[in-house]
Chain A
Amino acid sequence: MSTRLGNWAARHGHAFVSTLGHLSRHALATALTVIAISLALALPLALGLLVNNIRSLGGTLDESLGLSVYLKPGVTESAARTLAMQVRAHPGVRSVTLVSAAQGLALLRAQSGFGAALGSLTDNPLPNVLEVHPTPAAATPQRLDALRTALAALPPVDAVQLDRDWALRFNAILSVAREALLISVGLIAAGVVAVIGNTIRLEIQGRWAEIEVTKLVGGSNAFVRRPFLYAGVLYGVCAGLLGFGIVLAAGIALARPIAALSAAYGGHFALQGPGLRELGVLVGVGAVLGWLGAAVAASRQLARIEPRAG
Chain B
Amino acid sequence: MIRFQRVSKRYPNGREALSELSFEVPAGEMLFLTGRSGAGKSTVLKLIALLERPSRGEVWVNGQNTARLKARRIPQFRRGIGVVFQDHRLLRDRPVFDNVALPLVAADVSFREIDRRVRAALDQVGLLGRERTLPLELSVGEQQRVGIARAIVGKPPLLIADEPTGNLDAALASEVLDLFARFSAVGVTVMIATHDLAWVRSSGRRELRLEGGTLPVAPAEGALPADVEALMSPARP
Please measure, in the bound complex, the distance between the C-alpha atom of A44 and the C-alpha atom of B194, giving whole angstroms. Answer: 62
How many residues in A have their beta carbons less than 8 Å from beta carbons of B?
23
Chain A residue contacts of B71, Cβ below 8 A: 306
Number of A-B pairs, beta carbon distance below 8 Å = 70
Closest to A13 in B: B111
Q: Say whether B50 contacts A217, CB under 8 Å.
A: no
Q: Say whether B89 contacts A220, CB under 8 Å.
A: no
Q: Say whether B89 contacts A213, CB under 8 Å.
A: yes
Please measure, in the bound complex, the distance between the C-alpha atom of A215 and the C-alpha atom of B71, giving whole angstroms. Answer: 12
Closest to A305 in B: B51
Please measure, in the bound complex, the distance between the C-alpha atom of A7 and the C-alpha atom of B104, giving whole angstroms. Answer: 13
Given A209-B91, A210-B91, A218-B76, verify A223-B106 contact (CB < 8 Å): yes
Q: Is B26 an interface residue (CB 8 A)?
A: no
Given A209-B89, A220-B75, verify A310-B12 contact (CB < 8 Å): yes
Q: Say whether B106 contacts A307, CB under 8 Å.
A: no
Please measure, in the bound complex, the distance between the C-alpha atom of A216 and the C-alpha atom of B121, giving whole angstroms. Answer: 18
Please measure, in the bound complex, the distance between the C-alpha atom of A219 and the C-alpha atom of B54, giving whole angstroms. Answer: 22
Closest to B99 in A: A213
Chain B residue contacts of A212, Cβ below 8 A: 89
How many residues in B have their beta carbons less than 8 Å from beta carbons of A?
32
Chain B residues numbered 29-74 whose CB sits less than 8 Å from any CB in chain A: 49-55, 71-72, 74
Closest to A6 in B: B110
User: A221 to chain B: closest CB distance in Å?
Assistant: 8
Closest to A309 in B: B53
Q: Say whether B9 contacts A310, CB under 8 Å.
A: yes
Q: Say whether B52 contacts A11, CB under 8 Å.
A: no
Q: Say whether B110 contacts A217, CB under 8 Å.
A: no
Which of A10, A214, A219, A310 is B53 in contact with, Cβ under 8 Å?
A310
Chain A residue contacts of B11, Cβ below 8 A: 310
Q: Say whether A217 contacts B51, CB under 8 Å.
A: no
Please measure, in the bound complex, the distance between the C-alpha atom of A283 and the C-alpha atom of B41, giving whole angstroms. Answer: 53
Q: Say whether A219 contacts B75, CB under 8 Å.
A: yes
Chain B residue contacts of A3, Cβ below 8 A: 110
Please measure, in the bound complex, the distance between the C-alpha atom of A160 and the C-alpha atom of B106, giving whole angstroms. Answer: 81
Q: Say whether A218 contacts B9, CB under 8 Å.
A: no
Given A10-B111, A310-B55, verify A216-B10 contact (CB < 8 Å): no
Which A residues form the contact surface with B (CB < 8 A)?
3, 7, 10-11, 14, 209-210, 212-221, 223, 306-310
